[in-house]
A and B are shown apart, each in its own frame.
Chain A
Amino acid sequence: MVSTAASTPAASTPATARAPRPSLRWRVVDIVVASVLGVAGGLVMTVWNLTYSPLTAPIEAALPGLQALLYGVWLFPAVLVALVVRKPGAALYGELVAAATSALLGGFWGWSAVQWGLVQGLGAELIFAIFLYRAWGLVPALLAGLGAGVGMAVMDLTFYYAESRPEFAAIYAASAMTSGALLAGGGSWLLTRALARTGALSRFAAGREHAARADS
């Protein structure tokens, strides 16, 4: 079949023409860039694994459970990958690849990191699904980060801090959710905007929207 797609001559296409509703099918570039971002996220996690304890120890000393305020770093691949590729399953996939990467690089928790990745990724994924994969702004990003934080709190309080006292569990869960929303959600939203500004996202709707804003 010879390509006969265009209905209007390209030269007269108005710059502001609205693209059709973006397809939810994964293109090759979506898969590869999501994978690469997941791997980069895993690399960041690995560095963070080696860095975080001196930072969180004083917070923990001040108020036990509050250390989870910094744990959102482990959650950002879920939100970032979803905001960049905007496909169903992207949050889950991004967080899983990041967790698997940190496991393969000899991370702290070995393969069990993938279980955390699964639950945290699902937490974020659920929020984007509730928005029917149509909203990718700051609010969905914050909520998705919060969702990932819920996943982390559930996992940590079940596996590591089982039978901790309710005060501790409550502070811990609230801190994890706040951190998920702000660091992973808000942070990924800012990061996606910054990436769009560099032109690196030109093959993604997230990058093209920014270019359109910059033009007008």
Chain B
Amino acid sequence: MPTPDASVTSAADAALAHRAGAASLAAEAWSWTPAGRAAPVLDGLDLAIEPGERVLLLGASGSGKSTLLQAFAGVLGGDDEGTRAGALTVDGVDPAEARGRVGLLLQDPDAQLVLSRAGDDVAFGPENLGVSADEIARRVPEALAAVGLDLPLDADTTRLSGGQKQRLALAGVLALRPGALLLDEPTAQLDPAGVGEVAAAVAELVADRSMTLLVVEHRVDVWAPLVDRVIVLEHGRVLADGPVADVLRAQGDGLAARGVWVPGRSPEHPSPASREPGEVLLSARGLSVRPRGGEIVQRGVDLDVRAGEIVALTGVNGAGKTTLALTLAGLLEPAAGTVEAGDALRGIDPTVEHLSPADWSSRALVARLGVVFQNPEHQFVAPTVRAELEVGPRALGRSGAEARGIAEPLLESLRLRSLAGSSPFTLSGGEQRRLSVATALATAPPVLVLDEPSFGQDARTWAELAALLAAHRDAGGAIVMATHDRELIQSLGAREVVLPAPAAPAAPRAGAPAAPAARRPLVERLNPVASIAASLVPSLLLIVTLDVVSAAVALALQLALLPLLGVPWRLLLLRIAPVLIAAPLTALTLLLYGETSGRIHAEFLLVQISDGSIELALASLLRVLAIGIPAIALFARPDATRLGDALGQNLRLPARFVLGGVAALRLVTLMRDDARMLERARRARGTADRGRIRRLAGLVLSLLVLAIRRGSSLAIAMEARGFGAPVRRTWTRPSPWRGIDTAAVLIGLTISALALAAAVATGSFLGVIG
């Protein structure tokens, strides 16, 4: 083992010394009060978990389960963030001293993966702890195999299914070689197939008791067979603790009443439909659907939705359930075929001409089709719960008093009255689900379209949801819902429409095939720091000159060298198109308002076109192009991971900030999807019939809330994987600086020097200063 730095080695050794089998977890009179709150979340907690024990942690939302896991993982934060009392230990020491001994897996698969390639992501934890590169290279395939993931190391993590992402995150935790696995609702956001995958992987890992397991889950049936012991928390204290069967016998009723899915205690089911389906409200013929910017996922769908019936769209992930539901709701254009509203649906006051909901205004839509999105936070548009319920009625032109008259009974019947003045974003998951359904019901639309409405809900919310849907059906409404939930389909007597699996398997594609390095275009081989330097040189030169000759020479040389980069022409044109538009506009400004000199050709108001301003305009046109084109061409194929490696290793910028930025960039795709979904939700809520700018402004707050939530969760996951540890991190991906990199920077400098020299030689040099 190399010994580059004494302190680093000793830290790594100390961490390794602990690594003997499963870890013990203990709390003694432990309390935690988050800053700014009066009541402790964990309150004098006493518990001891022996090495190798397997424990299920139950409790209502807000009972302190997640906080306890974060405390054991050592990521609760410092004194800024709260007050602690008592002792909490891992292997008898403070969790902060036992970094890497405890692995934490969170709920949202998208908020815990850090890097864009699977192998890199698994290596992230050990890299942070300064484990040697050789050792990491051994651990990564081992960890992937341990969770049953057979992926190329460069597989794109954004293309994986939920179950695969969650197993990949688990592999990233295992690569730390932890002695305890802490799982915080690891399957709450997965479909049944994903739940099975993750539970099976965990079962395999803890079978030989080489790791202690502490898991928080509402779904007792999935985890009960795997654990020895159940601990029930209430208000931050231990309510019950013992073998699974004993605790469930003694506490089962109480737990079920608090929403825990206790085996053998099904939530209440609504009564069956009271009448036969009536007239057709919505019909699809030969319908093909595709997500925006994606491929067609379903073809030739024929479907009638009648008043008083519930249609369940089912099928494997990727079959297009959500896409079909959104198309039926008029939020996506059909790719082919038609969606038509029946007379009964179209004709309600005021009537609309168009047959297809996709052609309706937002206002026409909200009166007819209520949409409930899978993530309630996509749905919310108002500052308070009460205002949220009034949005729909107001969009339909109801007066304030009328809207209030609609909101009040809904607040009452959905137990939201005490929250009426709160922001919808502060609500718990169950409350958000009730509110999102209520917002759709507020305009009494004949058709309700729901996307995975029961996903991740506790048993109590589930029963309330089922009752609401049954009531809508019995009042003569129709429901279309995309769902995986067999129990919900059964209890509502829904007509099931099974969507066939998509023709092409949605298997993750590995990144670009690993061509030998020499074959890749230059633009992808250059060190990103070299690209930045080479693209910045021209703009630095162009600060000092303003003349036509230097800009023209620089641009001509750049254009001559451009083909060497190997960027495909079409991509290049696409990327630089905006600059081709911006440059003439800048030139125009200078033509009209540039410094006047020589003969004046035209003059009106502030405009003065003179010899001087014509020359300035031409020079600025060339300048903008000479600054913009290399900057864009050198980054025509950006790769955030390589950029991060180069900034961290070659430029030696602080690793924490570089990696924070890289991790956040991975979320861009999610944010873009969020933005699209938010826009759809606004159309469905009746508030989209206004200018683009007002719509955009309205999206920003929701977009930021979603981003901050993911960021906060990502921060916990990253910190639990050693991010920010006071250890010199290992970089497993080399970021070499080669001859071509030096050459690229020199060429950039040479172009600038030649351009300057040409200007001076021709006597046309015009400096900015003087």
A residues whose Cβ falls under 8 Å from a Cβ of B? 1-6, 8-11, 13-15, 19-20, 22-23, 26-29, 31-40, 42-44, 47, 49, 51, 53, 55, 60, 63-65, 84, 93, 97, 100-101, 103-112, 114-115, 158-165, 167-168, 191, 194-195, 197-203, 205, 208-209, 211-212, 215
Query: In the bound complex, do residue B696 and residue A26 qualify as a contact, i.e. CB atoms below 8 Å apart?
Result: no
Judge if B589 is at the interface, Cβ distance under 8 Å. yes
Supply 16 further A-B pairs (C-beta < 8 A) apart from A3-B87, A6-B86, A104-B638: A31-B656, A36-B714, A43-B668, A47-B696, A103-B638, A108-B578, A108-B582, A109-B579, A110-B631, A111-B634, A159-B539, A162-B546, A164-B593, A198-B701, A198-B705, A215-B38
Q: Which of B75, B535, B692, B712 has the most C-beta atoms of chain A within 10 angstroms of its own C-beta?
A: B712
Main secondary structure of the interface of A (DSSP, over half): helix
A107: B residues at CB distance < 8 A: 578
Q: Is B620 interfacial (CB 8 A cutoff)? A: yes
Nearest B residue to A63, CB-CB = B606
Counting CB contacts under 8 A, is B737 at the interface? no
Enumerate 18 A-B pairs (CB-CB under 8 Å) in ascending A order: A15-B37, A28-B719, A32-B715, A35-B664, A49-B578, A60-B589, A65-B593, A105-B668, A108-B579, A111-B631, A112-B631, A162-B546, A165-B596, A165-B608, A191-B700, A195-B701, A197-B383, A197-B423
Cβ contact within 8 Å between B589 and A164:
yes
| Chain A residues with CB below 8 A from B664, complex form | 32, 35-36, 38-39, 97
- The B interface, classified by DSSP as helix, strand, loop or mixed, is helix
**A3–B84 contact, CB under 8 A?**
yes
Using a CB–CB distance below 8 Å, which chain B residues touch chain A?
31-38, 40, 43, 75, 77-81, 83-89, 93-94, 97, 383, 423, 425-426, 531-532, 535-536, 539, 542-543, 546, 574-575, 578-579, 582, 585-586, 589-590, 592-596, 606, 608, 616, 620, 623-624, 627-628, 630-635, 638, 640, 643, 656-657, 660-661, 663-665, 667-668, 671-672, 675, 692-693, 696, 700-701, 703-705, 707-712, 714-716, 718-719, 723-724, 768
Contact B705 A51 (CB under 8 A): no
Distance in Å: Cβ of B740 to nearest Cβ of chain A: 18
Q: Let me know if A10 and B33 touch, CB within 8 A.
A: yes
- Shortest B63–chain A CB gap in Å is 16
Nearest-neighbour CB distance to chain B for A40, whole angstroms, equals 4
> How far does the alpha carbon of A108 sit from the alpha carbon of B77 in the complex, in Å?
40
Q: Is the CB of A101 within 8 A of B620?
A: no
Interchain CB contact under 8 A, A198 and B77: no
A residues less than 8 Å from B634 (CB atoms): 110-111
Residues of A within 8 A of B707 (CB): 36-37, 39-40
Minimum C-beta distance from A46 to chain B (A): 9
The answer, among A3, A5, A195, for a CB contact under 8 Å with B705, is: A195
- State A183–B314 Cα separation when bound (angstroms): 47
Name the CB-closest residue of A to B535.
A111
Instruction: Let me know if A100 and B671 touch, CB within 8 A.
Output: no
Across the A-B interface, the 8 shortest Cβ-Cβ residue pairs: A110-B631, A36-B711, A208-B36, A35-B664, A6-B85, A110-B632, A198-B425, A15-B38
A214 to B: closest C-beta gap in Å: 9
* Residue in B37, B586, B627, B693 whose CB lies within 8 Å of A112: B627
Which one of B88, B661, B710, B712 contacts A3 once the chains associate, using CB atoms below 8 Å?
Answer: B88
In the complex, A53→B582 CA distance in Å?
10
- Rounded to whole angstroms, the CA-CA distance of A194 and B35 in the bound complex is 20
Residues of B within 8 A of A11 (CB): 31, 40, 43
Q: Which of chain B's residues have a CB closer than 8 A to the CB of A13?
A: 33, 38, 83
Q: Residue among B542, B634, B665, B696 with the most chain A CB within 10 A?
A: B665
Task: Give Cα A160 to B705, complex, Å.
Answer: 35
CB atoms of B592 and A64 under 8 A apart: yes
Cα(A27)–Cα(B93), bound, Å: 22
- Least CB distance from B150 to A in Å reads 30
Docked-complex contact A163 and B579, CB < 8 angstroms: no
**Bound complex: CA A156 to CA B72 (Å):** 52
Contact across chains for B628 and A36 when beta carbons are under 8 A apart: no
The answer to whether B83 touches A10 (Cβ under 8 A) is yes
Q: In the bound complex, what is the Cα–Cα distance between A164 and B608 (angstroms)?
A: 11
CB pair A33 B383 closer than 8 Å: no
Q: Is B596 in contact with A111, judged by CB distance below 8 angstroms?
A: no
Task: Compute how far the CA of A36 lies from the CA of B664 in the bound complex, rounded to whole angstroms.
Answer: 5
CB distance from A31 to the nearest CB of B (A): 4
CA distance A51 to B691 in the complex (A): 12
Contact across chains for A6 and B703 when beta carbons are under 8 A apart: no
